[in-house]
Chain A
Amino acid sequence: MHRCSFRTRLTAVVTALAFSTTLLAPAPTRAANKLQIMTATTDLASLAQEVGGDKVDVESIARGYQDPHFVDAKPSFLLKLKRADLLIVVGLELEIGWLPPLINQSTNPKIQVAAPGYLDASRFAKILEIPTGQVTRAEGDVHPLGNPHYWLDPENGLRIAKGISDKLSEMRPGDAAYFAQRYADFEQRLKQADERWLAEMKPYAGRKIVTYHRSWPNFAEHFHLNVVGYVEPRPGIPPSPQHTVELMQLMKREGIKVIVVEPYFDLKTPNAVARETGAQVLVLPPSVGGEKEITDYFKLFDYDISKLKQAFDATH
């Protein structure tokens, strides 16, 4: 009886050991030649995929329907960051609340700030709303380096893609021609698409809108929209009754009929404002992945522009 149980126990131990070694074995090596790219947001992931093609694996930390200011620095991201060759960030302190600890703890020397595998996309973009003079938090959660939602201008998208393409060529000189060709192709397609988008938006040039957060200055500038008010009294400060009343008065006075809300904000206040002013609440994703069908950078503008057109037509 005892002997038998010893044997059983031994078998159990051996099985357990064998099992645990299989579990603990390192994951099969990734397609050896592919550059592993992590990006802070889905928009950067889409741009990196455009120029990287099948020479890269790209993954974003934040999801497209998530507020990029508030992302949990989950340890599961650490494993991905540890394997990354390149980390592309939005910068301008957008990710200041969650990315620094992830980078520090990743134990990956390649992607530390200013290391060759760290790329700040804001370096390439045209930045708006850079505060001049004194910056205080009486203004809310201001970004002292400028508005970080700059990817919503296709021109910036092109600039960022160029920056990524150059970086990839620098990291993989052997594939430089491939990346240059991918970029040239992307440039051509984006320019064509932009011509179409601009034409579609042309009838609405100068149209005034209200947005929840200051996510849209680059978009508005490129497509000639006029953002005249915000549901938030100050960036990052939730709506207050007094500000909401002022906003309603402003919208009535100016005849504003569209309230653009990012998918991660509560609709209660925008809906109340819309009821009072006869405006329409339009949930507009500022990022790739914000809706299921927005699978890349092109579809982001396709979607947003078609939704805006519908809203403008419906409320005119």
Chain B
Amino acid sequence: MKALEEQVRTLAEEVALLRGELKAQRDAKSMDTATESRVLLASSHVEPGTLASSAAPAAPEPVASQVPQTQATGGTQLQTYGGATSNAKLLNPDISLIGDFIGNFGHNNVTPSRALELHESEIGMQAIIDPYSRADAFFSFGETGVSVEEAYATFTSLPAGLLLKVGKMRADFGKVNTIHNHALPYIDRPLVTNNLVGGEDGIDDAGMSLSRFIAAPKGWFMEGTAQVYRGDSDDLFTSYRRQDLSVVGHLRGYRDLSESTNLDLGISYARGNSAGLSFAPNPSAFFTNLYGADATLRWKPLRRAIYKNFLFRTELFWSARDQLSALNFFETQHAFGMYSSAEYRLNRRWTVGGRFDRSGRAMNANLTDTGFSGILTYWPSEFSQIRGQYRFGHLALATPGDFSLANEFLFQFLFVMGAHGAHPF
């Protein structure tokens, strides 16, 4: 009986709360309409909150239209309760999901991919941590498993103009290595990424990054970055001992040629222990040195930025890889690879592009792959993207001089949910 009474009492309380909530919403609504009655600046002006001038009572409190309804009606107990839960949500990080669906048709004997796949679902969580740092985390759910693509804290308030990042991140090696799959201007990555720079994930490792602007000639922006990583990056670097760290250095120079045109140049260096040598007697003595140079030219007229723009980019890579030869001798393979790409925005929704690829293989520089792609992209809105890519490949086979031709058509559909933070320029 007592329990029943208790229950009735709670129910009554709940009804009272709901009534209050309803009233609050009604009040807020009438408040909204009230704010529409306008006050002419010339006749009577009231400052929001702070400035009490000749205070015309009819003046809308500008803040009122901004604050959530709960506060607009003054804090009854209910409002505080509801406010507390909804306000706690405001501290949640920005959460986003980007789905990357890829279809692949045609002929490729060397590096075939599946006909249809949800290549990646990238979940991003981004937030300001405290007054001194922020954090960005991106988890990549692929067809075969989950990986932390990046998760790092950025310390934005260090002395001496230093910017420190700590966590797992894509290394600042050239341009394409830093770009997430969904932000690439093509569906696949350039051949050289796969051949020389560690495959799709590229140099992506746990470590620390320190960068700083460097004094530069007038009109130039220069930035230097030094990074140290554990030394494990796919099939590029492997850390055989704890002290086998890898390092990456990057120097960037940027210049506005005019209001609409700019030039972005960079040189990069990376060094780590060659991957795949755990069977060797002393794998820590085998290094891979990577050198890179990149150049980007952008044109975007400010008045028509959303309709017309052009970007040309080229990156060159040199790889010097210590390894064991077929006869188990120590050898260094020197391979070169590059790509050049261009994209032109035709109008608000369409972009055309092309890419030329050429790259030796890191482990056997005698084998060279060449390719060409044509790309067409359509944006229904800022939050989805449809892309087609024709890809031709002249791909080397294991015996030198032998090759296979690849003719493929790739199709991609990208969709963005939630608030995905802007990427650096």
Contacts and interface: CB of A to CB of B under 8 A. Distances in A.
Interface of A: 23-27, 63, 65-67, 70, 72-76, 78-79, 82, 96-101, 103-107, 109, 112-115, 122, 124-128, 130, 137, 140-141, 146, 154-156, 158-159, 162, 166, 187, 190-192, 194-195, 198, 221-222, 236-238, 263-264, 266
B65 A127 contact: yes
Contacts of B40: 194, 198
Nearest to A20: B217
Interface residues of B, number: 62
A64 to B, nearest CB: 10
A79 B215 CA distance: 10
B45 A191 contact: yes
Contacts of B423: 101
A155 B39 contact: yes
B425 A107 contact: no
Nearest to A126: B62
12 contacts: A26-B215, A76-B254, A76-B255, A82-B213, A101-B425, A103-B156, A107-B163, A124-B48, A126-B35, A162-B47, A198-B41, A266-B307
Given A107-B212, A221-B38, A74 B254 contact: yes
A70 B425 CA distance: 12
A190 B383 contact: no
Q: Is the interface of B mostly helix, strand, loop or mixed?
A: loop
A239 B198 CA distance: 43
Nearest to B35: A126
Given A70-B306, A74-B425, 14 more contacts: A23-B216, A74-B254, A75-B264, A76-B262, A82-B213, A96-B422, A105-B424, A107-B158, A107-B162, A109-B132, A124-B48, A127-B65, A159-B62, A190-B41
Contacts of B402: none
B381 A141 contact: yes
B85 interface: no
Contacts of B114: none
B106 to A, nearest CB: 32
B305 interface: yes
Top 8 A-B residue pairs of the complex, sorted by shortest distance between their CB atoms: A126-B62, A109-B157, A195-B42, A73-B425, A75-B221, A75-B254, A66-B302, A194-B41
B421 interface: yes
B161 interface: yes
A170 B349 CA distance: 47
